[in-house]
A = this chain, B = another copy of it.
Amino acid sequence: MAADPPRRQPTLDEVAERAGVSRSAASRAINQAPHVSRATRAAVERAVKELGYQPNRTARALATQQTGIVALAVSHDAPELFADPFFAQVIVGVSAALEDTELHLVLCLASSGRGQTRLTNLLRTRGVDGIMLMALRGDDPLTRIVRQAGLPAVYGGRPLNFEPQWYVDSDNVGGARLATEHLIGLGRTRIVTISGQTGTEVGEARYRGYREAMIMAGLIPYGMAEGDFTEAGGAAAMKTLLDSHPDLDAVVAANDNMAAGALRVLAESGRSVPADVAVVGFDDLDVAERTQPPLTTVHQSIQALGKEMTRMLIDLIAGRERTSLILPTRLVVRDSA
């Protein structure tokens, strides 16, 4: 089945023998440990080179009790949702952070019951040194599983109703505030918001940011409709708001997809953006550049999120102290506001 004859990899014993030293000495030399004479080190290095030796990962893991593997678990109702570019961005960030370590990444799509069982096994059998979790709801069984495993765990975003000990999150409140303040600075006062699901932390946080900014400016939160983070949901919410608040002059959408939906409905209703109604989104996904007009939006770096989660996990595994992290967001001004 293997492409080449499965010629066994040389072992440490063989290296030691060839170098004329003991296995312990060889091990020490290979691991750059102290208490190795120059001569020994040189002999071992030569033997390693000649034999093409590579220490066996599994054996080392068994001895050190460290697998050199971290898990990234993505929990989602339907595995198809994994296709969201969001996760790809996270993975790119994670990989970047892993790049200058010896760690490898196992990816767990833990949506189904089967997937969760597999993940549980992986943790309980000590198959990984630590884990990163994304897209959890507060009541997700994964949180319990992870807690029980007693392994370092870093959350991406905060589940609702549960503050993990270690997490990395975008500053959703601050971002929404930024967006709203921008509109206020433009002289808008009848500012409504299209929120995400109120059952999610992101949804709640961005809504909170909008409210805070309004109140701090002495304005009343003018109107709100709940969306579901999709283009269609944004469109529906926009219609509702146009009915209830026909004189609105700006809208803060909790993400770009919904903002795109809102733009579509506004165009259909004959309002011009940004003249009649200013719109700002959130996320700064690709779609934001392609809407008509291009979307002013709040930028958050998903890659950075993945990278920081990974760095944090690495530190935790190494036993270093860490505290949770909230990543800044910034406003990207285009034409819609």
Task: Enumerate chain A interface residues (CB-CB to B < 8 A).
Answer: 1-7, 9, 54-59, 61-62, 67-69, 79-80, 82-85, 87-89, 91-92, 95-96, 99-100, 102, 104-109, 112, 114-115, 118, 121-122, 124-127, 146-148, 150-153, 165, 316-317, 319-320
Contacts and interface: CB of A to CB of B under 8 A. Distances in A.
B107 A152 contact: no
Given A4-B148, A83-B85, A84-B88, 5 more contacts: A3-B151, A9-B126, A79-B95, A83-B88, A95-B115
Given A82-B88, A91-B82, A106-B104, A4 B147 contact: yes
B56 A126 contact: yes
Contacts of A55: 125
Nearest to A109: B95
Given A3-B165, A83-B89, A99-B114, A127 B153 contact: no
A2 B9 CA distance: 35
A96 B79 CA distance: 9
A150 B104 contact: no
Nearest to A114: B99
Nearest to A5: B150
